[in-house]
Amino acid sequence: MSEQEHCCAPERSTPRPDKIKSNLISRLNRVEGQIRGIRGMVEKDVYCDDILNQIAAAQSALNAVGRMLLEGHMKSCVIDRIQQGDSEVIDELLKTMNKLMR
């Protein structure tokens, strides 16, 4: 398999099954709604602690999306690239995981 045939080719495209894509989009839509709600809270001068709790909930929801994507990435893209002899994917994965864990 050439580099352009595997899931994470240089154009950086990863096809996902419709069910997974739908689930991710649904979760991201909820996060987007949470962010709009937080902005509204700030505009209405809502109590700081209430806003901070909503921020924590939005971060948690976004982290859940990240975990889902990371799991799929590791089970497909990373494995495919390792099987093709591309060990650089490990360094890429480690950098990404470090960013996610900040």
Say how far apart CA 5 and CA 35 lie, in whole Å.
37
pLDDT, residue 13, reads 84
CATH number 1.20.58.1000 is the correct assignment for the domain at 18-100: yes
Q: Mean pLDDT, 10 residues at a time, over the chain (102 residues)?
A: 48 86 97 98 98 97 95 93 94 93 86
pLDDT, residue 11, reads 73
